[in-house]
Amino acid sequence: MYRDYYSAVDWDKIIAFSKDKETPFLVVLLDEVREKYQEFRANFPNAKIYYAVKANPGVELLAVLRDLGSCFDIASTHELDRMLELGVTPERLSYGNTIKKAKHIRYAYEKGVRLYTSDCEADIRNLAREAPGSRVFFRLLMDAVTSDSDWPLSRKFGCQPRMAIELVALAAELGLEPYGISFHVGSQQREISAWDAAVAQVHALFEWLAKDRLPLQAINMGGGFPADYLVKTNPLSVYAEEINAYLKTYFGASTPEIYLEPGRGLVGEAGVLVSEVVLVSKKSKTDLKRWIYTDVGVFNGLMETIDESIKYPIYTEKSGEVGDVVLAGPTCDSLDIIYEHFQYELPLSLESGDRLYWLSTGAYTTSYSSIEFNGFPPLKTYYL
C-alpha cells in the first residue's frame, strides 16, 4: 500500500536508510519537497509562495526552499531569526501571525520586515507605532467554511467583513499601507468550494473598499491545501484549476496579486515517520481488540491525531490476517491514544519490535513534538 504514496525508488531509499536507526524518527525526502514547490509554482504561475514555516521548521528543508526562491510566512521572532540566519532577506518574509507583542513587532521591523497580517484594532495600532508605513493584510474570519476542514483554524483568527473595512480605514489613517485581504480556509481542506466562498467574500470586500477609496492590491489565500492521508484528495492541479477559475469569475481581468502560504500541502507527503511496536496487549484473555503501544504518540510527533482528526496511512512489513487495534503512544497520559474509535486493522502477527511506518507525516509532526514529556526526547528528523 505504500506504493499508493511513494515511488519504489523513494521507498527503497527510506527503508535502506532507516534499517539500523533507533526509532522513532522522521525521514523527510527533500526531492519531494522540491517537486511540490515546483508543482505549486506551475499551478499558480502568478502567485507568490510564502511557505508556512510552522509546518516543518527544519533548517535543511528551509534551505531547500530558500534556494528555490520561496518566500516564508513566519509566526514569531524565533522563526524570524532562523530565516535571517539562513540568509533569507527580510523582503522575503511575512509576519503572518495576527497575535504578536508590540516589542516583537518592533524587533521584526528593526530587522527589516515590512509585511504583516492583522485582524484587530489593538494590533493595527501596535503596527502603526512599531512598524510605521508597513504593508498590512487584513484577515477575514472564515468560520462558515473552515468547519469542513480536517484541522479547522476557525474562530481564533480573522474578523468580520465590516470590522475589516473599519481596520483598513484605520490603518490608512495611521500611515500604514493597507495591502490586501487574507484568509485561511482551514488546514487539510478537502472541500474545494471553501475557496469559492472565501474568494466571493473577498471580492465583495474589495468592491466595498474601492467605493470608500481604499483600494487593495492583493489576496493572501493562506494554506489549507491538503496532503494525501488515509482519505485521498484531489491532486493540486485540480485545486488550482478550480481556484483560478473562482478568481476569474469574481475578479475577471483585474485579478489582484495572489499570495499563497502552503504548509501541509508543500511538505506533508515528503515525510515518513518510522516507529516500533513496544507492546501488544489485551485487556482480557477473550478481548478481540488488541492494544498496540508504539514508541511514537501524541506527544512526540502525532499531535494531529487528537480527536483522530488526521488519519495517517500506516504500513507494516508483516502480512497475513488482520484484526482491529487500538493504537497508543508510549507516555503515561491517557490522552496519548492515537486511534481508538476509527478502527485501524493491522496484522495479527504483529509483535514487539516490528516497525510501523506512518506515511505523509512531513507536516506538523516534529514541530508539534514536546521537548521531554516523560523524558522522551523530541522527534528526531533526518533529511535525505
Ligand X SMILES: *Cc1c(COP(=O)(O)O)cnc(C)c1O
Q: Does 361 bind ligand X (CB under 6 A)?
A: no
Q: Does 224 bind ligand X (CB under 6 A)?
A: yes
Q: Does 265 bind ligand X (CB under 6 A)?
A: yes
- Among residues 137, 161, 362, 355, the alpha carbon closest in space to that of 259 is found at 137
Nearer to ligand X, 188 or 294 (CB): 188
Nearer to ligand X, 36 or 355 (CB): 36
Bridge partners of 71, per DSSP, are: 50
Q: Does 100 bind ligand X (CB under 6 A)?
A: no
What backbone phi and psi angles, to 5 degrees, belong to 136?
-130, 130
What track of x and - describes contact with ligand X for positions 232 through 261 (by CB under 6 A)?
A: -----------------------------x
Q: Does 152 bind ligand X (CB under 6 A)?
A: no
Task: Give burial (CB, 10 Å; 0-12/13-18/19+) of 255.
Answer: middle
- Pick from 73, 269, 295, 354: which binds ligand X (CB under 6 A)? 73
Nearer to ligand X, 187 or 294 (CB): 187
User: Residue 305 Cβ, how far from ligand X at the closest point, in Å?
Assistant: 16
Distance CA 326, CA 167 (A): 49
Nearer to ligand X, 134 or 331 (CB): 134
Q: Does 264 bind ligand X (CB under 6 A)?
A: yes
- In the region spanning residues 187 to 216, those forming contacts with ligand X, defined by CB under 6 A, are 187
User: Residue 31 Cβ, how far from ligand X at the closest point, in Å?
Assistant: 20
User: Residue 309 Cβ, how far from ligand X at the closest point, in Å?
Assistant: 12
Distance CA 258, CA 347 (A): 47
Q: Does 223 bind ligand X (CB under 6 A)?
A: yes
Nearer to ligand X, 14 or 53 (CB): 53
* CA 193 to each of CA 56, 255, 267, 282, 337: distance values in angstroms, whole numbers, following the listed order: 27, 19, 23, 44, 33
Phi/psi-derived region of residue 11, left when phi > 0, alpha when psi is between -120 and 50, beta in every other case: alpha
Residue 19 has a CB neighbour count (10 Å cut-off) of: 9
Distance CA 66, CA 101 (A): 27
Note the helical H segments in 68-141. 77-85, 102-111, 121-130
User: Residue 78 Cβ, how far from ligand X at the closest point, in Å?
Assistant: 15
* CA 63 to each of CA 45, 57, 111: distance values in angstroms, whole numbers, following the listed order: 22, 10, 20
Nearer to ligand X, 61 or 346 (CB): 61
- In the region spanning residues 41 to 70, those forming contacts with ligand X, defined by CB under 6 A, are 52, 54-55
Binding region for ligand X (CB under 6 A): 52, 54-55, 73, 96, 184, 187, 222-225, 261-265
